[in-house]
Amino acid sequence: MRILITGGAGFVGRHLALLLRDQGHQVTALDTLGDPNAVFGCHELTRWEIPVVKGDVGDQVLMRHLLNEHEAVAHLAAPTVGVEQMLRTPGTQVAALQEAATLAGLLTADHTVLYASTSDVYGLHSQHYGNRPMAEDDLTVYESPSVSRWNYSRAKSLAENLFACCPARTVCVRIFNAYGPGFDHPQPRRVIPRFTAAVLAGLPLRVSGDGSQHRAFCHIDDLVVGMACSLDSAGKFTQGGNLAMNLGNPDTYVSIRELADLIAELAVTEGFVDKAPEILTEGYAYSEHFDDTWNRCPDIGRARTMLGFEPTVGLREGLLDVLTFHADRDPSR
């Protein structure tokens, strides 16, 4: 297929682009290249001769042109990443929803679409359902609309509906905490890159709250395989068919405190640092108060049944990948 990836220079976008290229597809990346992490990703793509178009999904003239040239779209573009950045600029989620509406309005019955959604759409699931894994048809639960933390979740959920109602064949993949080498490089924004940068710099690992909140982390190699299979599966839907699909690794379900301990242990035992860093609970606070005690684990039964999806990269192996990547690029080492 001829596949357009919006946000293609981002972490997930460039890994997906490289996999699809290796599978024989013709791939084009669209990205605003608005931050250093995307610029880094652009260099990776051009090195493998994947064309990168600098532009915005909201540009209807550009999008019409690109959609005429591509029969499949993976929509990964996002105006900002990381909870802290989302809280500082809540209006960016409205802009993201507007871009999703623009794209959905331009799609035809001849297109196949993968929309990169998020496990965030489940909100405070664990506080209302207990700590069972999250399934695609479960209800979503958020705090008050006055809490900006959930603007991102609501916008993603509304965008899923936009794509589900458009003429194209659509799959909305809900990503559970992707990570891997090159994640948030060179600007660390999320928990694994933050902990990695801190440990290599000899700084304390600062944990939000007491660190008892649990997440399941999915290595990028596993994730993009699931995404490529999802896109292929969506291409076989009948006209206007759509589906939501969880992609994650329930076997890597750990507390944030356990994650910090594991990164610290690996850094010492694998020789990246001589001394384990201090781990500070209550050492990190977001710019706005919200309840951060909920847990998040995927039920991937649908992906297993429909795609044969089975994550293979364990957390220790994946975190070692991350530490090695960043240590190799640390000019002080």
Residues 76-93 have pLDDT tens digits of 998 777 677 777 777 888
286 is catalytic: no
Does pLDDT of 99 surpass 80? yes
Calculate mean pLDDT across residues 245-250: 98
Residue bearing the bigger pLDDT, 158 or 282:
158
Judge whether 320 lies within some domain.
Answer: no
Judge whether 159 lies within some domain.
Answer: yes
Question: What pLDDT shows up at residue 331?
Answer: 67
Q: What is the pTM of this model?
A: 0.95
Question: What CATH number should be reported for the domain holding residue 120?
Answer: 3.40.50.720
Does pLDDT of 254 surpass 70? yes
- The rounded mean pLDDT for the chain is 93
Judge whether 273 lies within some domain.
Answer: no
Residues 6 or more apart in contact with residue 263 via CB below 8 angstroms:
192, 195, 196, 199, 205, 319, 323
Judge whether 274 lies within some domain.
Answer: no
Judge whether 258 lies within some domain.
Answer: no
Judge whether 324 lies within some domain.
Answer: no
Q: Which of 122, 129, 142, 152 is catalytic?
A: 152
Confidence class for position 158, pLDDT limits 50, 70, 90: very high
Judge whether 255 lies within some domain.
Answer: no
Judge whether 118 lies within some domain.
Answer: yes
Confidence class for position 181, pLDDT limits 50, 70, 90: very high
Question: What pLDDT shows up at residue 165?
Answer: 95
Query: Domain span at residue 126?
Result: 2-179+220-249+298-311
CB 42 within 8 A of CB 31: yes
Distance CA(247)–CA(134), nearest Å, equals 11
Question: What pLDDT shows up at residue 18?
Answer: 97
Question: What pLDDT shows up at residue 112?
Answer: 97
Count up the domains in the chain and report the number: 1
* Six token digits for residue 269: 């035992």
